[in-house]
Amino acid sequence: MASFIFSEFDYDDDTTLFIIGNGFDISHGLNTRWADYLEWLSEQNNYLNLYNWLTYDPGFSANLWSNLEQALGEFDMKDMYDFCTQYIKIDYDHMMRTGYAFEDAPGIELQPLIDLLRSSLFDWIQYVSESEIPDIHRHYLLSERARYLSFNYTPVPAATYGIPDSQINHIHGHINDPYHDLVVGHDVMREPEYEDDSMTFIDNAMDAICGIMNELNKDVPAVLGANTEYFASLADIDHITVIGHSYNRIDMPYFHAIKDVVGPQCRWELSWYTDDDKANAEAMIATLGIDPGLCSFVQTGKR
């Protein structure tokens, strides 16, 4: 049964903005957690190499979607090096040849996996959208007049709730948009980690690993720049409700951009699922300098 999240909230208003994160999709029963992606990946023969890479480093074994992006930026440098060079045999009679093999390994082993990661995410979201969305039901009372900022790649607002596409901004792309790639990545630009007295070819391999992994840095400033007109259009928003977002660090610039453009009396309603979500939401409100009297918090049900 569909329900309001906040009992005193006017949902049927074009000055209302809904911000929806992955918890929104999960609350409808969609399998869009990071763990779901990993399980799906393990069943795809064409992505087994990618699965083996992601599970090689325990740092990738995260539960929530936001942790996928975090893991991509906080990988263990030594583990990544070991993965890239695990099949290289040192030929002490031809050390120059061996050095070249180590230096080339990240480009040979790692770069194709980064490309596979992007394509697999699209295939996974497409699979979820085609196989699961047709069977879900409305979980919330949403207005066709309100505006929507979605961090999700799925078309749930339009497909399940009939929200016009013109009212939805999928800020990181979505599977029904053939003209833009999905935006996914971390917010950490890593520097190589050298060991004392390491050989030059090892240092060069570390450089290559950092360069490749830094390609997965989510260019939030570029996304914000491409959406300048959109954020400016939110100046008349006087109510904001957030559903299913973890208030993670990576997405904070978007909340800053929204806060900077809406009026000082804009009301914020923030849903939370875990204690960490609530703590992050409270910290965000404090960081943005929003009057706590304009904020409401509600815990969403078990998913």
pLDDT, residue 8, reads 47
Q: Where are the alpha helices (DSSP H) in 186-269?
A: 200-214, 220-226, 228-232, 252-261
Beta bridge partners of 170: 150
Q: Tell me the mean pLDDT in the region 246-271.
A: 94
Does residue 62 have a pLDDT over 80? no
Does residue 66 have a pLDDT over 60? no
Q: Where are the alpha helices (DSSP H) in the chain?
A: 22-27, 34-42, 48-56, 65-73, 77-85, 95-105, 111-131, 156-161, 200-214, 220-226, 228-232, 252-261, 275-288
1 lies in some domain: no
273 lies in some domain: yes
Write down the residue that tokens 């596979």 correspond to.
116
249 lies in some domain: yes
Q: Tell me the mean pLDDT in the region 277-293.
A: 95
Residue 236: pLDDT band with limits 50, 70, 90 = very high
Tell me the per-residue pLDDT of 122-150, one tens digit each, with 9 for 90 and over.
999 999 999 999 999 988 889 899 999 99
Q: Tell me the mean pLDDT in the region 44-49.
A: 94
Number of domains in the chain: 1
166 lies in some domain: yes
For 111, the domain range is 16-299
147 lies in some domain: yes
Q: What is the CA radius of gyration of the chain?
A: 22
Using a pLDDT cut of 90, give the percent of the chain over it.
59
51 lies in some domain: yes
279 lies in some domain: yes
155 lies in some domain: yes
